[in-house]
Amino acid sequence: MRITVRFFAILKDRAGTSETTLELASGSTVASALESLSKRFPDLQRDCNRIAFAVNRSYVKPDQVLRDGDELALIPPVSGG
Amino acid sequence: VGTSDWIEVSAQPLRVDRAVEFVTDPRAGGIDVFLGTTREEKASDGSELVALDYEAYAQMALEQLRALAQRAREKWPIIKLAILHRVGRVELGEPSVIIAVSTPHRADAFDACRFLIDELKVDVAIWKKEIWADGSASWIHPSS
């Protein structure tokens, strides 16, 4: 299955892109997606080890199972306002 | 809800007069308005902040702000509310966020307004970067 990954703020800088796609085995979780992303973008978690996750624009836990076509967002600590 | 809520994430400069106009209503006895503005800062090395640069995951932030408005409506008798957040560069003294709430009595307007800004800061998908006079930039890392 294929998912879209979106990066924001410092994670976008670390990845060097705002968006990518990821091919995963069916049944893969958010945590396993992050593992694949960290291999592709070795600097991703430098200076930022508190990443939250959203799937289709809602926060989820790392054990969330992904489905084909999902939009996974990596959310660094927010600082709006 | 619908036309009683104005929720927007925008690159346009925020206009407090428009927000106040939006929440003005003959049923209201009080309107409370909060502005979050860019504050000057001096780093330990003497360099000075010149602006903040905001980025949002706009689709998610809008959904979160709509849900937040709904939570406030369940707690207080809100007549109208506006939550407007800026993205892009916000100069010193300029507002990055405006929250305006009208209610029949003032205490509820104060409480709802404070609730909305406090909760917005907890988990809404918006980030700010500090822009310094020497041209350097750094993402804010909330310590909590």
- ipTM score: 0.94
Q: Is B45 on the interface with A (CB under 8 A)?
A: no
pLDDT above 60 (res B75): yes
> Lowest-confidence range among A44-58, B5-19, B102-116?
A44-58
Q: In this predicted structure, what is the pLDDT of residue B1?
A: 45
pLDDT above 70 (res B143): no
Say which DSSP state A66 is in.
P
What b/e string do you get for B89-115 counting C-beta neighbours within 10 Å, with b at 16 or more?
ebeeeebbbbbbbbbeeeebbbbbbeb
pLDDT above 60 (res B2): no
Show residues of chain A in contact with B61, CB under 8 Å. 80
pTM over 0.90: yes
User: Residue B127 is nearest to which of A8, A58, A73, comparing CB atoms?
Assistant: A8
Q: Is B125 on the interface with A (CB under 8 A)?
A: yes
Cα distances from A80 to residues A76, B75, B104, in angstroms, run 12, 23, 29
**How confident is the model over B48-70, as a mean pLDDT?**
98
Nearest residue of chain A to residue B55 (CA atoms) = A9
**How confident is the model over B35-53, as a mean pLDDT?**
95
Say which DSSP state B2 is in.
G
CB contact under 8 A, B139 and A76: yes
Q: In this predicted structure, what is the pLDDT of residue B141?
A: 73
Distance (Å) from the C-alpha of residue B102 to the closest C-alpha of chain A?
Answer: 20
CB contact under 8 A, A75 and B125: yes
Tracing tokens 């706009």 back to the chain, one arrives at: B58
Show residues of chain A in contact with B54, CB under 8 Å. 80
Tokens, residue B100: 């305006």
Question: Mean pLDDT in chain B?
Answer: 95
Size of interface A-B (CB pairs under 8 A): 70
Residues of chain A with pLDDT under 70: none
Secondary structure element (H or E) that encloses residue B16, with its range:
helix B16-23
Show residues of chain A in contact with B139, CB under 8 Å. 9-10, 13, 76, 79
